[in-house]
């Protein structure tokens, strides 16, 4: 199988078995976004590189074409790739654009710990929420999910509803300490995600996960709620890994 070539036909010595290894099905969209985004950020897929054809990529990554197209749309909206139509066309790696306000090295060095803390706090909270949430609280969370569906093109509004959703989960447990913990966690996550782009496909996928969480709460199914929240937390980590600046790969 030929290696993708950069502009001018120069072959790149890529670790293809790493970049294009199969991804897991549960977070396939986000993992695909991470895999390709990370390869681009690190220069493993250099500007001008043409990605393999969709059919080949789907086969190698073990994903559906709709999932691949979601990821490519997100990467396009994030400025990492662009499509060229016509003869000799395809999907090409774009020249990376530096962030207008780059994150500090300290923040980038700590982002995995921030994500781990978020995982522990939010999975624990959602299990209690599944046990304790009243119907009115579940209805409020469901209304926020509907609101976010209408805010996919307005990230500021989406993020505000997103924060209210997560804090609402904590409020439904009846524990003010957990509300404080959730608020602090969401504050740290906001500091991270403000440094990445927010493609519509990423927001849509996140809100689909919100809807799964609400369904689990409505059924008072703690294990199901925990799985749904864990999937969302891991999905966010994949997006961060794919879209944060390359300085994050410091160790």
Cβ 82 vs Cβ 94: under 8 Å: yes
Residue at 10 is within a domain: no
Same domain for 63 and 121, yes or no, is: no
What is the average per-residue pLDDT within 122-128? Answer: 98
Q: What pLDDT was estimated at residue 247?
A: 46
CATH number of 142's domain: 1.20.120.530
pLDDT at position 40? 81
Residue 70 has pLDDT above 80, yes or no: yes
Do 88 and 140 lie in a common domain? Answer: no
- Both 212 and 184 in one domain: the answer is yes
CA dihedral 64, 66, 69, 71 (to 10 degrees): -70
Question: Does 88 share its domain with 203?
Answer: no
- 151 within a domain of the structure (yes/no): yes
- C-alpha span between 54 and 68 (Å, rounded): 8
What's the domain range around 178?
Answer: 105-248
Say if residue 130 is in the same domain as residue 242.
yes
Predicted pLDDT of residue 44: 72
Evaluate whether residue 100 is within a structural domain.
Answer: no
Overall number of domains in the chain: 2
Compute the distance between CA of residue 93 and CA of residue 79 in angstroms, rounded to an integer.
Answer: 9
Residue that finishes a domain, picked among 93, 122, 146? 93
Per-residue DSSP letters for 176-204?
Answer: HHHHHHHHHHHHHHHHHHTTS---HHHHH
Residue 166 lies in a domain: yes
Q: Is 158 a member of any domain?
A: yes
- pLDDT at 248 (0 to 100): 40
Task: Indicate the residue among 93, 113, 131 that finishes a domain.
Answer: 93
Q: What pLDDT is recorded for position 3?
A: 39
Q: Tell me what pLDDT residue 78 has.
A: 81
| 89 and 109 share one domain | no
User: Do residue 152 and residue 184 come from a single domain?
Assistant: yes
The two tokens of residue 43 are 């220069």
Asked whether residue 71 falls in the same domain as residue 177, the answer is no
pLDDT of residue 212: 98
Taking only the tens place, the pLDDT of each residue in 174-212 is 998 999 899 889 888 988 888 888 989 999 999 999 999
Q: Is residue 4 part of a domain?
A: no
- State which of 41, 68, 93 marks the end of a domain: 93
Residues 111 and 89 in one domain: no
Average pLDDT over residues 146-164: 93
Going by C-alpha positions, the residue among 75, 189, 68 that lies closest to residue 121 is: 189
| Closest to 126 in 3D by CA, of 42, 35, 17, 220 | 220
pTM for the predicted model, two decimal places: 0.71
On average, the pLDDT of the chain sits at 85
173 lies in the same domain as 227: yes
Task: Write down the pLDDT at residue 98.
Answer: 55
Task: Give a yes or no: residue 222 inside a domain.
Answer: yes
Judgement on whether residues 158 and 63 belong to the same structural domain of the protein:
no
Question: What pLDDT shows up at residue 42?
Answer: 60
Please tell me whether residues 61 and 137 are part of one structural domain.
Answer: no
Mean pLDDT over residues 10-29, rounded?
63
Q: pLDDT per residue over 40-61, tens digit each?
A: 876 778 889 899 999 999 998 8
Of the pLDDT bands very low, low, confident and very high (cuts 50, 70, 90), residue 162 is very high
Q: The domain that contains 71 carries what CATH number?
A: 1.10.10.10
Q: Is residue 159 part of a domain?
A: yes
Confidence of residue 249 (pLDDT cuts 50, 70, 90): very low
């Amino acid at each position: 199988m030929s290696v993708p070539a950069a502009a001018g036909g120069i072959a790149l010595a890529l670790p293809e078995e790493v970049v294009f290894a199969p991804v897991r099905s549960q977070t396939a969209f986000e993992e695909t976004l991470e895999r390709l985004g990370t390869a681009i950020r690190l220069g493993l897929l250099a500007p001008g590189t043409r990605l393999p054809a969709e059919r080949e990529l789907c086969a190698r990554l073990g994903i559906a074409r709709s999932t691949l197209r979601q990821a490519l749309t997100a990467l396009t909206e994030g400025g990492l790739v662009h499509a060229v139509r016509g003869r000799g066309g395809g999907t090409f790696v774009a020249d990376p654009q530096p962030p207008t306000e780059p994150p500090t090295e300290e923040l980038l060095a700590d982002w995995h710990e921030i994500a781990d803390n978020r995982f522990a706090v939010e999975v624990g909270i959602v299990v209690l929420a599944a046990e304790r949430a009243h119907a009115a609280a579940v209805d409020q969370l469901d209304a926020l999910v509907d609101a976010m569906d209408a805010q996919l093109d307005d990230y500021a509004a989406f993020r505000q509803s997103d924060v209210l959703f997560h804090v609402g989960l904590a409020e439904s447990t009846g524990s003010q300490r957990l509300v404080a913990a959730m608020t602090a966690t969401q504050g740290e996550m906001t500091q991270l995600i403000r440094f990445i782009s927010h493609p519509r496909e990423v927001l849509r996928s996140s809100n689909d996960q919100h809807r799964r969480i609400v369904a689990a709460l409505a059924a008072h199914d703690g294990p199901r709620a925990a799985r749904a929240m864990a999937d969302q937390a891991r999905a966010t980590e994949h997006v961060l890994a794919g879209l944060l600046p390359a300085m994050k790969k410091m160790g």
